Amino acid sequence: MRVLGIETSCDETGVAIYDTEAGLLAEALYSQIDIHAVYGGVVPELASRDHVRKTLPLIHDVLSRAGLEIHDIEGIAYTSGPGLIGALMVGALVGRSLAETLGIPALGVHHMEGHLLAPMLSDEPPTMPFVALLVSGGHTQLIEVQGIGDYTLLGESVDDAAGEAFDKVAKMLYLPYPGGPHVAKKAESGNPDRFDFPRPMVNKPGLNFSFSGLKTYTLTTLQSLGGIHEISEQDVCDIARAFEDAVVDTLIIKCRRALEQTGLKTLVMAGGVSANQRLRASLGPALAPLGASVYYPAPAYCTDNGAMIAYAGAQRLLAGEQDGPLMDLRPRWPLAELRAVSS
């Protein structure tokens, strides 16, 4: 089954074609970073307008790359939530209109399920069951995955998620948007021994996360040095390193705890923060004493993309799911509400 995937949940327009027998055939991605960077964050109206401009040209692009015509597509998957409602509407209207015209099924896909399943696009995908660490934008979650759609939430962020904290610390340090990669870049030159930032909630039972206090601690440290206009470049690097180390250690501690609690031996990490190189380098060795294996998506599939939506949609379309007559877009959508796919 050849499935066209459309991702328009936030500030990236992603389109891909996934064949359930041949794999990923083609993909294209347009990032709006340059549009939003001047504002220091995503402007929803600008995001929606740019999706309108880019979605159809990208569909033509991936069809050309795959050597296909639009009539060769057998199903369409689009992101129906969570995300910005205006941005979601663009992908949904394009996807559903095409499906209606072609007489093929369409299906709205959960954005976070797309991230969770992105490692399945690799040459050596993980096998279920596993524990998933989802660290994407406003989400930091630990989930027990028994099968597609069979998800149990183990823990989540109770305030700022890891990605949000990275972006907010970047603003404190006057670093460009999006902040996470820039904080990580500064941290490469930071002295790991200068500051010792707290590891939030690691001494409390459970698997929830809280990064708001760590963000405040970072601001207090910055102010103790005289503020952003008084500190040196090395000060910025040292603060970035202390912050990044605290986030990485906290995620590792919680992942270890989740594996011990579930008895599972496989961890899958996905979402934008999963591209962080210090986290990738540290997680495997830290979990090795448990006999655990760690899987990640390819770097291109850590951030939002059409391939993950095409793959996730294909699995559910194959199982017979498809849209009803009414469009159901959900800016907020708990992952645990999804139905399990029969194997």
Q: Judge whether 11 lies within some domain.
A: yes
CATH number reported for the structural domain that contains residue 326 in this entry: 3.30.420.40
- Confidence at 132, pLDDT banded by 50, 70, 90: very high
Instruction: Give the total number of structural domains in the chain.
Output: 2
Q: Judge whether 170 lies within some domain.
A: yes
Q: How far apart are CA 62 and CA 228, in angstroms?
A: 45
pLDDT at site 138: 84
C-alpha closest to that of 169 among 87, 239, 71 = 239
For 122, left (φ over 0), alpha (ψ -120 to 50), or beta?
A: beta
pLDDT in tens, 253-262: 999 999 999 9
Q: Calculate mean pLDDT across residues 285-303.
A: 95
Note whether 284 and 191 are same-domain residues. Answer: yes
pLDDT at 87 over 70: yes
C-alpha closest to that of 304 among 114, 20, 56, 45 = 114
Q: Calculate mean pLDDT across residues 268-283.
A: 94
Q: Calculate mean pLDDT across residues 65-93.
A: 98
C-alpha closest to that of 142 among 126, 124, 162 = 162
Q: How far apart are CA 267 and CA 261, in angstroms?
A: 13
| pTM to 2 decimal places | 0.95
pLDDT at 241 over 90: yes
Note whether 196 and 163 are same-domain residues. Answer: yes
Note whether 158 and 266 are same-domain residues. Answer: yes
Q: Give me the phi and psi of 102, to 5 degrees please.
A: -85, -15
pLDDT at 177 over 90: no
Note whether 240 and 92 are same-domain residues. Answer: no
Q: Which residues are annotated as a binding site?
A: 111, 115, 134-138, 167, 180, 276, 304
pLDDT at site 330: 95
pLDDT in tens, 38-70: 998 999 999 999 999 999 999 999 999 999 999
Q: How far apart are CA 264 and CA 40, in angstroms?
A: 40
Q: Calculate mean pLDDT across residues 148-168.
A: 94
Task: Give the burial string for 193-202 (b: 16+ CB within 10 Å, else e).
Answer: eebebebbbe
Q: Flag the least confident range among 215-219, 265-269, 335-339.
A: 335-339
Which residue pairs, CB below 8 angstroms and at least 24 apart, start in 298-303? 298/121, 298/122, 299/275, 300/29, 301/118, 301/119, 301/121, 301/270, 302/118, 302/270, 302/271, 302/272, 302/273, 302/274, 302/275, 303/12, 303/272, 303/275
pLDDT in tens, 201-214: 999 999 999 999 99
Q: Calculate mean pLDDT across residues 305-315.
A: 98
Q: Judge whether 197 lies within some domain.
A: yes
Q: Judge whether 268 lies within some domain.
A: yes
Q: How far apart are CA 330 and CA 110, in angstroms?
A: 9
Neighbours of 152 (CB within 10 A): 13
- Confidence at 271, pLDDT banded by 50, 70, 90: very high
Note whether 212 and 265 are same-domain residues. Answer: yes
pLDDT at 127 over 90: yes
pLDDT at site 343: 58
pLDDT at site 40: 87
Q: 61: which strand partners? A: none
Note whether 155 and 114 are same-domain residues. Answer: no
Note whether 157 and 265 are same-domain residues. Answer: yes
Note whether 106 and 133 are same-domain residues. Answer: no
pLDDT in tens, 95-109: 999 999 999 999 999
pLDDT at site 150: 96
Q: Judge whether 343 lies within some domain.
A: no
pLDDT at site 136: 83
Note whether 286 and 315 are same-domain residues. Answer: no
Domain enclosing residue 188, as ranges = 127-296
Q: Calculate mean pLDDT across residues 130-145.
A: 93
Average pLDDT, the chain: 96
Q: Which residues are annotated as a binding site for substrate?
A: 134-138, 167, 180, 276
Q: Calculate mean pLDDT across residues 9-32.
A: 97
Q: Judge whether 227 lies within some domain.
A: yes
Q: Judge whether 342 lies within some domain.
A: no
Q: Judge whether 326 lies within some domain.
A: yes
pLDDT at site 96: 98
Share of the chain above pLDDT 70, in %: 100
pLDDT at site 137: 77
Q: In the sheet that 75-81 helps form, which strands lie side by side, from edge to edge?
A: 23-31, 12-19, 2-7, 75-81, 106-110
Note whether 156 and 254 are same-domain residues. Answer: yes
Q: Which residues are annotated as a binding site for Fe cation?
A: 111, 115, 304
Note whether 164 and 114 are same-domain residues. Answer: no
Q: What's the token pair of residue 86?
A: 């205006």
pLDDT at 292 over 90: yes
Note whether 74 and 144 are same-domain residues. Answer: no
**Which alpha helices (DSSP H) does the chain contain, by range?**
33-37, 44-66, 85-102, 111-117, 162-172, 179-187, 212-224, 233-262, 277-287, 306-318
